[in-house]
């Protein structure tokens, strides 16, 4: 059975504003290393899946930029959504392309473009185990991560009974429930309970199983897969857009996973972090002796536990010309770009999207 990887790369990355912008969002930025986050994901998974079976799904406004970022991929493998309609529609579109291009059923690994994974070998091994599991069962397989802190920025998965006959070295469980992002007290309870995992937003399933799940629990989405497949085969872009736009906006979690009867979760063996907001840099970047993370021409004096990031240009390369000084401050994020400077408490990192909304409402959209 063919194995493919589908990388969802359509998000705007608003919690990383003002670094992340509409035309150059966080998945194209070099936040966690010398390669962009998206290129890093492709580099990692191509050790298991050949380039011709790696697909990127993104927004139309980003297709050309991603083609430039990933010249090793065929342009036909970089799929532009007609519009943004959340992850259920994104993955239904992926199913339609698979049906249009592959004769037989396909084993699909779904990845996000903004995951930080430090143990590549463990990740690839868990992917192999997940492929084995999805190939021999009719389950939707999720990757869950054992919590290491009471995180309030992630959703959680409650583990039920172990999957009988499952592999993954006894780390596979039926899903008992999905939990939304908790408050701090609830996150502490989940951590103490020991049977909750972070929802990494990464999955493995056979395409036929996902399509069946769509048809059973989200038929408004499932019924559009066949017409989208036909439009792809006929190169009918207008028809594809019309069918795609009929799909209600729902996440794959809410649209399918919370309702479908056969969903299991593998407790992965690799360290994982979602590069979703500014506070994550504390966990993925080496700090100085005062626990500051400093990027660019930055001077931190009598300051501790701060993230100071100064960049220039559309590709957000570190700015080594303009000096940014943090003096006598603690627990702040300071971000400086060509046209925006933003300062906020690190504790409010999850609320940067509110700032983006305020900028939009104040008719200053050119800064987004």
Whether the CB-CB separation of 88 and 218 falls below 8 Å is answered with yes
Q: pLDDT tens digits, residue range 33-48?
A: 889 999 999 999 999 9
CA dihedral 232, 212, 180, 110 (to 10 degrees): -50
Select the more confidently predicted residue: 316 or 222.
222
Model confidence at 169: pLDDT above 80? no
pTM listed for this prediction = 0.94
Q: pLDDT tens digits, residue range 284-316?
A: 999 999 999 999 999 999 999 999 999 887 767
Classified as helix, coil or strand, 170 is helix
CA dihedral 28, 141, 92, 277 (to 10 degrees): -30
Q: How far is 53 from 101, CA to CA, in rounded Å?
A: 11
Residue 167's pLDDT is 59
Q: How far is 344 from 339, CA to CA, in rounded Å?
A: 17
Beta-carbon count within 10 A of 82 CB = 18
Q: How far is 104 from 199, CA to CA, in rounded Å?
A: 30
DSSP line for 46-81 = TTTS-GGGEEEEEEGGGHHHHHHH-TTS-GGGEEEE
CA dihedral 280, 284, 287, 293 (to 10 degrees): -50
């Amino acid at each position: 059975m063919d194995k493919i990887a589908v990388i969802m790369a359509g998000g705007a990355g608003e919690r990383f504003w003002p670094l992340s912008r509409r035309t150059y969002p966080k998945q194209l930025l070099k936040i966690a290393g010398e390669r962009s986050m998206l290129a890093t994901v492709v580099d990692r998974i191509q050790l298991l899946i050949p380039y011709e079976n790696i697909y990127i799904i993104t927004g139309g406004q980003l297709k050309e930029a991603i083609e430039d970022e990933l010249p090793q991929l065929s342009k036909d493998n970089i799929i532009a959504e007609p519009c943004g309609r959340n992850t259920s529609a994104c993955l239904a579109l992926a199913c339609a392309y698979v049906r249009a291009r592959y004769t037989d059923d396909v084993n699909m690994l779904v990845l996000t473009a903004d995951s930080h994974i430090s143990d590549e070998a463990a990740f690839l091994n868990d992917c192999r185990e997940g492929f084995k599991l999805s190939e021999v069962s009719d389950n939707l397989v999720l990757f869950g991560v054992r919590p290491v802190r009471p995180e309030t920025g992630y959703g959680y998965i409650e583990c039920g009974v172990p999957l009988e006959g499952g592999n993954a070295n006894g780390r596979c469980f039926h899903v008992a429930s999905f939990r939304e992002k908790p408050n701090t007290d609830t996150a502490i309870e989940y951590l103490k309970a020991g049977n909750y995992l972070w929802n990494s937003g990464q999955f493995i399933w056979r395409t036929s199983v996902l399509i069946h799940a769509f048809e059973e629990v989200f038929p408004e989405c499932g019924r559009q897969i066949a017409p989208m497949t036909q439009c792809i085969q006929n190169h009918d872009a207008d028809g594809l857009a019309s069918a795609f736009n009929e799909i209600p906006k729902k996440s794959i979690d809410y649209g399918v996973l919370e309702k479908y009867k056969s969903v299991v979760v593998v407790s992965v063996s690799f360290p994982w972090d979602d590069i979703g907001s500014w506070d994550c840099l504390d966990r993925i970047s080496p700090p100085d002796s005062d626990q500051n993370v400093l990027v660019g021409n930055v001077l931190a004096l009598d300051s501790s536990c701060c993230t100071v990031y100064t960049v220039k240009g559309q590709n957000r390369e570190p700015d080594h010309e303009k000096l940014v000084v943090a003096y006598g401050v603690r627990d702040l994020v300071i971000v400086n770009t060509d046209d925006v400077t933003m300062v906020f408490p690190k504790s409010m990192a999850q609320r940067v999207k509110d700032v983006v909304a305020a900028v939009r409402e104040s008719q200053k959209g050119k800064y987004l």
